[in-house]
Amino acid sequence: MTPDEFRAYGRQVVDWIADYHERVESFPVLAQVAPGDVRAALPAEPPEHGEPFGDVLRDLDEVILPGITHWQHPSFFAYFPANASGPAILGDLLASGLGVQGMLWATSPAATELETHVLDWLASLLGLPARFRSDSAGGGVIQHSASDAALVSLLAALHRVSKGRTEHAGVADGRFTVYTSAQTHSSLEKACRIAGLGADALRKIDVEPATLAARPEHLRELLARDIAGGRTPALVVASVGATGTGAVDPVAELAAIAHEYGAWLHVDAAWAGVAAVAPELRWLNDGLDLADSYCTNPHKWLLTNFDCDAFWVADRAALVGALSILPEYLRNTATESGAVIDYRDWHVPLGRRFRALKLWAVIRWYGADGLRAHVRKHVALAQEFAAWVTADDRFEIVAPHPLSLVTFRLRAGDDATRALMDRVNASGELYLTHTLVDGAVALRMAIGSTLTERRHVEAAWRALSA
């Protein structure tokens, strides 16, 4: 594709995206296809000769769009949001245009330095403790996802608690244990399996019935029992905004206990953490000054296209110790000088995309006040929605909802609650998902799409309460 052809098709693509965002509300939120429909519309074999790019755009409309669940639809209330925004899309496009692979400082100094700088900016915007900033012993890095953040914090924790032994000897002796609340995201169990500990290494901390937050006394019991049994506690993960209900664990108490027993404390605030851009929500950071690592996802609720997980450590030596490798073909003077960061040592793969560009574009376009307004709007809508649910005696709220997730159910029980979800989702007008709270089905209304306005939340309540 010549630069002139690229220019012509590029304009068409940008127009296509702008049109899509303008008309996204006109599509059913959930894809209306059956398994295999999309593949049945594609040729069995790849083309022998190149095709015009216009044909790709035509198939995008005819074949791909019907099979899309519209995450950017303003009535998408399922899971957690995956915000897209103009500046993030353009920043991502520029990253593709530059086409750099920033595994080392030397392979593109600006890719590394912008990432370090933007994560310091984000730490300031969220009011994170100084120990996570790059001018301390810690620092930030963009991971693909919160699941990667959980995995690398486990690897760093194992490196630290074993004094580097796991690097050579592995973890096969079944000695290391990991702790998290029963409400926590499945990513930690996966991390235990990937790291070779196995799911049996994971201990579930009981939660308080009223708040669904982890009980510190139970963590202490689990740790004491494991130490007495000859185990080595490696990692405790606290959640700030657990996936099911948004529960917030008492981070400071969990951290103090974890440290007493020599374990690393990671805080997973994948969805909720970004809300700390609003000073009145800074309580979300309580206890972080005791955490060894922390992550939150701008790719959920902070207007930055997937993928962008911001991950910080208080002591980068453990992370780099766990993950650094230096084969001869990557040796270079900048690395040897010790004066630069090589991000290949901060995540699992070697290569990395220039993701900082889109986060930089987002922060510059919206500014701190724009980001605060974005979060505050959704929090206010969720409080209104919760009030409507509370006022209707057919329904009950099942968990605290200080942010933009409201978990609720029909008092009539599981079957009625599930039937309600199936009915509204089948209508195509909105999309929401469920969880289990205390063994009972509950619906999750996760407000936070970039385009969501009050009228969409009102319409959702009308459909749910009809």
Ligand X SMILES: *Cc1c(COP(=O)(O)O)cnc(C)c1O
Nearest to ligand X of 108, 297 (CB atom): 297
Least distance from ligand X to the Cβ atom of residue 246, Å: 9
Identity of the residue, 151 or 340, whose beta carbon is nearer to ligand X in the bound complex: 151
Q: Which is nearer to ligand X, 145 or 153 (CB)?
A: 145
C-alpha span between 27 and 16 (Å, rounded)? 15
For binding to ligand X (CB under 6 A), which residues are involved?
A: 80, 145-147, 185, 187, 239, 241-243, 268, 270-271, 297, 309
User: What is the closest distance, in whole angstroms, from the C-beta atom of residue 308 to ligand X in the complex?
Assistant: 9
Taking the least distance from each CB to ligand X, the nearer of 241 and 250 is 241
Interhelix angle 216-228/251-260, nearest 10 degrees:
20
Quote the least distance from Cβ 446 to ligand X, whole Å.
10
Sorted by sequence, the CB contacts under 8 Å of residue 111 that are 6+ apart come out as 100, 102, 352, 354, 356
C-alpha 452/C-alpha 135 separation (Å) is 38
Using the minimum distance from each CB to ligand X, give the nearer residue, 268 or 342. 268
Least Cβ distance, residue 70 to ligand X (angstroms)? 18
Measured from the CB of residue 305, what is the shortest distance to ligand X in angstroms? 13
Q: Which residue's CB atom is positioned nearest to ligand X?
A: 145
Q: Which is nearer to ligand X, 189 or 315 (CB)?
A: 189
- Tracing tokens 């459909």 back to the chain, one arrives at 463
Query: Is it true that the peptide bond before 173 is cis, omega within 30 degrees of 0?
Result: no
Minimum CB separation of residue 210 from ligand X in Å reads 20
Cβ closer to ligand X: 142 or 257?
A: 142
If the CB atoms of residues 129 and 241 are measured against ligand X, the closer one turns out to be 241
Report, in Å, the least distance between residue 340 CB and ligand X: 27
What is the rounded (10 degree) CA torsion for 29, 30, 31, 34?
-160
Nearer to ligand X, 132 or 271 (CB): 271
Task: Provide the minimum distance between the beta carbon of 145 and ligand X in the complex, in angstroms, as a whole number.
Answer: 3
Q: Report in angstroms how near the CB of residue 241 gets to ligand X at its nearest.
A: 6
